[in-house]
Amino acid sequence: MLRTHTCGELRLDHINQHVTLAGWVQRVRNKGGLIWVDLRDRYGVTQLIFEEGSTDKELLEKASQLGREFVVQASGKVIERTSKNDKIPTGHIEIKAESIEVLNAAKVPPFIIEDETDGGDELRMKYRYLDLRRNVVREKLQLRHRMMQETRRYMDAEQFIEVETPVLIKSTPEGARDFVVPSRVNPGEFYALPQSPQTFKQLLMVSGFDRYFQIVKCFRDEDLRADRQPEFTQIDCEMSFVDQEDILSTFEGLTKHLFKTVKGVELEEVKRMTYADAMKFYGNDKPDLRFDMKFVELNDLAKGKGFGIFDSAELVVGICAKGAAEYTRKQLDALTEWVKRPQIGAKGLVYVKYNSDGSLKSTVDKFYSSEDLSQWAEAFHAAPGDLMLVLSGEENKVRKQLSELRLKMGEELGLRDRNVFKPLWVVDFPLLEWDEETERFHAMHHPFTSPKREDIPLLETKPGAVRANAYDLVINGVEIGGGSIRIHDRPTQQLMFKHLGFTEEEAQKQFGFLMEAFEYGAPPHGGIAFGFDRLCAIFGGSDSIRDYIAFPKNNSGRDVMIDSPSSIADDQLEELSIRVQLKK
C-alpha cells in the first residue's frame, strides 16, 4: 500500500505516530517560510505543514511547487494543530511533513473542484471524472450505493432470488421506442435493449422461482427531462401465488426499510387512493400529499349566473390556498399570466379573497353576490385569510391546469418540504387508454396487466371503463414505482391482445413464446418495478436523477465526456449490412 492511513481517519489519539498518506492536493497556502497543503482523498482532508527551520529547504521548495489536483504521497508525524478546524473530522491534527513525492502532476483543472464550484453543467459533464472528485457529487453516489446494499439485504431476507436477465432481446410494440442493435451474424435482423425485463420475470414465475428481483439497467428511446435518462435503473420484482395486497404489503416494507436504514426516518402508514379520486381531487395520478388543497367543483354554484366563461365551461373547479389572502394585485396578476402560458394553457384565472375582516372580494363581483361567494367559501371550507383560485374549461384539460397551479401554490407557500415524506399507493388504474393519433386503445401499463375480474365483461361494451389490478407508489408527487397483477393464462392474454388491436398473427409473432409458456402451468403472479434513480433523488432531496448517475447523458441524450453517440466506420456498417441514409 502507498499509504498507512486515509485522509479522513487521523485523530488526536494518533499524535506522534509516523504515517504515510496519498491523495490529491486540494489547495496550497504559501506564507513564504510556512506552507500548508490540504491533501484530499475519498475519505476526507488532512492538512500537511511544511515549516522553515524544521523542514529542509529542498522539501520546502518541493512543497511550494505543488499545484491543485497533483497526486502526491506524503510522510510525517501526526501533531496537534494550534489553530483547530471544527468543520472537518481531522481538524484537530495535522501532519508535520518529512517527505513528499509527486506521483502524478496535474494540469490546472477547468473548474474549481470543491463543493462550491465555478463550473457550469456542460463543462462539468465534459470533465465528469473531475466533477466526481467533489464531495457533494460523491456523497450522492455513496447514497446510491447504500440504497443498493439495503435493497439487496431486505429482498434476500424476504426470500427473493436475484436473477440477471438478457440485455439483447426482441423488439416489441407498445410503450416507448426501443433502442435497437444490429446482428452481424443475422443480417437485416436486430436485437432491442430491454425497456424492462417484463416477459423474462414472468417466465421466471412460470419456472417456479416464486420470488425474483434484479437491480437492472433499462433503456427507452424517448425525450429526456430532469427525471428521465435513455438508460436508467430499476428495482425489478415479481412474486408468485400472491394477490395485490401481498405485493403492496411486501414493497411497502421495502420502502419503510430503506427510509429507516438509509435516512433514519420512520415512515408513516402508506395511504391508499383510487386513480379516479386522484384525478378528481388532485388532477393527476401522482398527487403530492405534503399539503392539502384538494380540488372543489363549483358547477352547481358558479353556473347560471350570467358569467359566460363559466356557463359555457364543462367544468368549473378551484383550490383554496390557506393564508394567501394577503397576495397583492401584482402577485395575482403574475399567477394569472403563469396559468396562461402555453405550457399550462388556461384562458384565465378567477380569484376570491376571503379578507381577515370576513368580507369577500373577487374578480367576478359583477356576476356573483356576496351570498354567492359565501357559498363558494363554504364549499372550499375557506376561512378569513384564505385565497380561492378557480379555473374553468374542458374537464380533462382544466384538471391538469389546476394540478399545475396547485403545485405552484404549494411551492410558493413553502408547503413542499423536502424533509417531509408522504407516500401513497394509487390503485385501480384504467386498464386501457384511448390514443387519438392511432384511434385505438393502448395498455395504460403494459399488455400483460390483468383486468379486474368483475370488469372483464366491459371489454366488449365499455373498454375505457375497465379497471386494472395495477398500482403505483408515489412519494411527494413523484411516481417511484409501478406494477400489476399479471395475466397468467392464454385465453385472457389473447383477449387482451385482441382489444389492443393485435391480430392473432401479430400476437403470435411478438409474444407467442409467452402464451405458450402459460399453457405449461403458469402460477398467478404479479410484481412491481421501482425507479431506482428517482428513489435516490427523493432520498437526496434533488429534482434531477442525473446527480445520482456516475456518467449521465445530457438533454440531447449525449455523453459529452466520451462524445457519444458517434458515427462508426464504413467497414463496420458494411459488416453489419447497414447503409446510412440521413433525411434531409
Pairing of strands 231-240, 211-219: antiparallel
- Nearest-CA neighbor of 331 among 384, 435, 409? 409
Task: State the burial class of residue 399 (Cβ atoms within 10 Å of its Cβ: 0-12, 13-18, 19+).
Answer: buried
> By three-state DSSP, how is residue 480 classified?
strand
Q: With bands split at pLDDT 50, 70 and 90, how would you rate the model's confidence at 583?
A: confident
Residue 508, pLDDT > 80, answer: yes
pLDDT over 70 percentage in the chain:
99
Q: Tell me: pLDDT of 201 over 90.
A: yes
**Omega prior to 565 cis, within 30 of 0:** yes
Mean pLDDT of the region 406-419? 96
Question: Cα 506–507–512 angle (5° rounding)?
Answer: 120
pTM of the model: 0.92
For residue 266, what are the CA distances in angstroms to 152, 255, 258, 289?
Answer: 20, 10, 10, 17
- 136 Cβ neighbours under 8 A, 6+ residues apart: 115
- Binding site members: 174, 220-222, 229, 445, 479, 486, 531-534
Q: Where are the domains of the chain?
A: 12-104, 120-270+528-583, 291-413
Distance CA 471, CA 475 (A): 13
DSSP annotation string for 90-117: TTTEEEEEEEEEEEE--PPPSS--SSS-
CA trace torsion 363, 366, 370, 371 (10° rounding): -120
Can you tell me the mean pLDDT for 23-31? 96
pLDDT digits (tens, 9 = 90+) for 138-183: 999 999 999 999 999 999 999 999 999 999 999 876 568 899 999 9
Cell match 394567501: residue? 324
Given a cut of 90, is residue 262 above it in pLDDT? yes
Question: Cα–Cα distance between 342 and 332 in angstroms, integer?
Answer: 18
Grid cell, residue 45, equals 482532508
Which amino acid is it at 552?
P
DSSP E strand stretches across 412-503: 423-427, 432-435, 440-443, 470-475, 478-485
pLDDT at 337: 96
Q: How far apart are CA 420 and CA 429, in angstroms?
A: 26
Rounded CA gap, 136 and 131, in Å? 9
Q: Per-residue confidence at 74, pLDDT binned at 50, 70, 90? A: very high
- pLDDT given at position 226: 63
CA 246 – CA 177 distance, rounded (Å) = 32
295, 482 contact by CB (below 8 A): no
Higher pLDDT: 54 or 25? It is: 25
Residue 75 pLDDT > 80, yes or no?
Answer: yes
Binding residues for L-aspartate: 174, 220, 445, 486
pLDDT (average), residues 564-571: 94
What was the pLDDT predicted at 175?
67
Backbone angles phi, psi at 515, to 5 degrees: -65, -35
- Flag whether pLDDT at 327 surpasses 80: yes
CA distance 247 to 160: 13
Cβ within 8 Å of residue 270, ≥6 positions away: 248, 252, 255, 423, 424, 425, 473
Give start and end residues of each alpha helix (H) in 73-210.
Answer: 121-126, 128-131, 135-157, 198-206
437 to each of 400, 434, 442, 463, how far by Cα in Å? 20, 9, 11, 18
Q: What is the mean pLDDT of residues 362-385?
A: 96
Instruction: Tell me which fold the domain 120-270+528-583 belongs to.
Output: BirA Bifunctional Protein; domain 2 (3.30.930)
**pLDDT tens, residue by residue, 422-456:** 999 999 999 988 877 777 787 888 889 999 999 98
- Tens of pLDDT, residue by residue over 477-493, are 999 999 999 999 998 98
**pLDDT reported for residue 405:** 98
pLDDT at 173: 63
The model's confidence at residue 532, banded by pLDDT at 50, 70 and 90, is: very high
Asked whether 66 and 102 are in contact (CB, 8 A), the reply is yes
pLDDT in tens, 151-161: 999 999 999 99
Q: What does the pLDDT look like over 301-320, one tens digit per residue?
A: 999 999 999 999 999 999 99
DSSP 237: E
In the DSSP assignment, the letter for residue 263 is I
Question: Using only C-alpha atoms, what is the Rg of the chain?
Answer: 30
Neighbours of 221 (CB within 10 A): 14
Backbone φ/ψ region at 62: left (φ over 0), alpha (ψ -120 to 50), beta: alpha
- The C-alpha atoms of residue 333 and residue 301 are separated, in whole angstroms, by 25
Given a contact cutoff of 8 angstroms between Cβ atoms, the answer to whether 239 and 253 are in contact is no
Buried b (16+ CB within 10 A) or exposed e, 335-361: bbeebeeeebebeebbbbbbeeeeebe
User: What is the DSSP track for 524-573?
Assistant: PEEEEEEEHHHHHHHHHT-S-SGGGSSS---TTS-BTTTTBS----HHHH
CATH topology for the 291-413 domain: Gyrase A; domain 2 (3.30.1360)
Closest CA to 137 of 153, 125, 154, 152: 125
Give the percent of the chain with pLDDT over 90: 85
Span 12-104 CATH architecture: Beta Barrel (2.40)
CA distance 524 to 122: 48
- The two beta strands, 271-274 and 440-443, are unpaired
Q: pLDDT tens, 217-247?
A: 999 998 877 678 999 999 999 999 999 999 9
In the annotated binding site for ATP, the residues are: 220-222, 229, 479, 531-534
